[in-house]
Amino acid sequence: MIRRVVIIDGYTDEPAGLGVPPYINTYPRLVAGSIWFADKSIDVKYFTIDMIRQNIEKFMKIAKTCDVIVVIAGAEVPGRYLGGKPITIGELERLMMLLDEKIRILIGPAARFGMGLGGGTIAFSIRRLKRLFEYVVPGDPEFFFYEAIKYGWEKAPIIKVRQNYDLANKSFYYGAKIIKQHPNYGWNLIVEIETFRGCPRYITGGCSFCIEPRTGMVVYRSIEGILKEIEALDRFGAKHYRIGKQPDILAYMAYDTGKIEFPKPNVNALRRLFHGIRSIAINLKILHIDNVNPGTIAHNKDEALEALKIIIKYHTSGDVAAIGIESFDSKVIKYNNLKVYPDEALEAIRIINRVGSKRGWNGLPELLPGINLLYGLPGESRDTYRINLEYLYKILNEGLLIRRINVRKVTVLENTPLWLRKDEVEHLLKKHHSLYGIYRRRIMDEIDRNMLRKILPQNTIVRYLYTEKYIGRYTIARQPASYPIVFYIEGHYPLRKVIDLRVIGYKAKSVYGEIF
């Protein structure tokens, strides 16, 4: 009989979905919720990997009393984080060795695609992870845990994936209260909300490096199911939401999904969703989005424009539409089946700027695009670096705003098309290692800094930031947001407090401020 389950959140970062603090991803809520839906008497304890690092003795005291250890892992997208550090393979091995008498289960992206080790690396394979766990669950966790609790471990399906959200919706609802155990609860916690599974571009294979098309056909979550979860989250104290667990929010309930690569946005469904969230989440302070496919905008300009207007009507300002791009080099785009060619990318950026560049209540523009530039992809040459910089200058000189530019090396993940070409990727990364460093610095100095000056002119008042940590003589503060700007304030001020700031200076990717 299962009496206590301990969840170790090693953090996840996927193309669709973020679970590094201050974010809590969907996995902890699905695990806890499916367990409680099956048997509400089971005690579920939640620890982030940073909580364990800070007090391993406290964790071990509780973990030794549990029956089951669940590890959530898979930072598959290369990134840098201020709020936490994803679990390392070394930490994973040591913890599982200390708890080898327990039932040990791995879920999350790592169970399906291996464990990403950062940009420019080949993932740690699933085969090597299996020796650490009794169960590695690449399927959806709600099925595994619900049936394990109800019928026993031998009946629990390891590879079952959802064809609908019936059980997931119940699990999300029952699991909402797990947020109260998160270390960021009560201040800057951001809850990641899922609206659908799968990428509409799966019919053409999707991007070579991406895990989202590998989930198969798109499965939409009902508006009613989403709102019921948010109602529960609001009841348990959630204030900040990101509608980020999908590869393209404009494709939610889109017409002709599964038939065409870039389905037409369903403006009415988006209106009902966002209006419903604002109506039901009484304590809401932040409502942001994440991914938007620029191809959806380029191929459906009128509908996309209306959809973006709906989002801006109901969201909160300082929002970011992460549109990917990955490369402006047509050869790289073709070789890797990327979303858009350069002219289409520029048009998508123009359309988002047209409706989103107006400044909002918190001092930031309503909604701006964010782009990624990914290096190490097949087809890359020295010209790729020059071409990407030239297009960034086009954007800057046209007066368009980009909220953030992520320059990263690709991570090669198991079960993606790029896995079969990992030797080629490794060769390109080594060949262009110095070039990458040179152009990354040029983008920061020549593009990022100038963009920040346009987005946040000198003396702009920025509202609703939380003081988070100290770095040297500075206090670091950020808004709860999608891709929040980092503010440096000279002096040490109390942490976990809400402040307003005046902009007084700039770094390449961050801003100096003084308390207003």
Average pLDDT, integer, range 499-505? 99
267-279: per-residue pLDDT in tens?
999 999 999 999 9
Lowest-confidence segment of 37-46, 76-85, 105-114, 176-185 by average pLDDT? 76-85
Q: Tell me which residue has tokens 């969201």.
A: 315
What are the structure tokens assigned to 472, written together?
């040297």
Domains 4-155 and 189-455 equal at CATH topology level: no
Residue 198 has pLDDT above 80, yes or no: yes
d(CA 265, CA 92): 42
Per-residue pLDDT at 57: 98
Q: Percentage of the chain with pLDDT > 90?
A: 93
What are the structure tokens assigned to 307, written together?
């959809």
Q: Which residue has the higher pLDDT, 78 or 444?
A: 444
Closest CA to 147 of 38, 1, 275: 38
What are the structure tokens assigned to 317, written together?
């300002």
Per-residue pLDDT at 287: 99
9-37: per-residue pLDDT in tens?
999 999 899 999 999 999 999 999 999 99
Q: In the β-sheet with 103-107, what is the strand arrangement from edge to edge?
A: 43-48, 4-13, 68-75, 103-107, 135-136
Closest CA to 318 of 289, 341, 297, 342: 289
Domain ranges of the chain: 4-155, 189-455, 461-515
Per-residue pLDDT at 76: 79
C-beta neighbour count of 298 within 10 angstroms: 20
448-476: per-residue pLDDT in tens?
999 999 999 999 999 999 999 999 999 99
Per-residue pLDDT at 120: 66
CATH 2.20.70 fits 461-515, yes or no: no
pLDDT band at 232 (very low <50, low <70, confident <90, very high): very high
Residue by residue, DSSP assigns 223-286 as HHHHHHHHHHHHHTT--EEEEEESS-GGGTT-BTBTTBSSPBP-HHHHHHHHHHHHHH-TT--E
d(CA 5, CA 46): 9
Residue 98 has pLDDT above 70, yes or no: yes
Per-residue pLDDT at 124: 76
DSSP E strands in 176-226: the ranges are 190-194, 196-197, 219-220
Q: Tell me which residue has tokens 């289409």.
A: 344
Superfamily of domain 189-455: tm_1862 like domain (3.80.30.20)
d(CA 37, CA 42): 10
d(CA 357, CA 300): 20
104-130: per-residue pLDDT in tens?
999 999 999 888 777 667 677 888 899
Average pLDDT, integer, range 477-484? 97
Average pLDDT, integer, range 338-342? 98
Q: Percentage of the chain with pLDDT > 70?
A: 99
Determine the CATH number of domain 4-155: 3.40.50
d(CA 136, CA 127): 10
Does this model's pTM top 0.85?
Answer: yes
Lowest-confidence segment of 113-117, 368-372, 511-515 by average pLDDT? 113-117
Radius of gyration of the chain (CA): 22
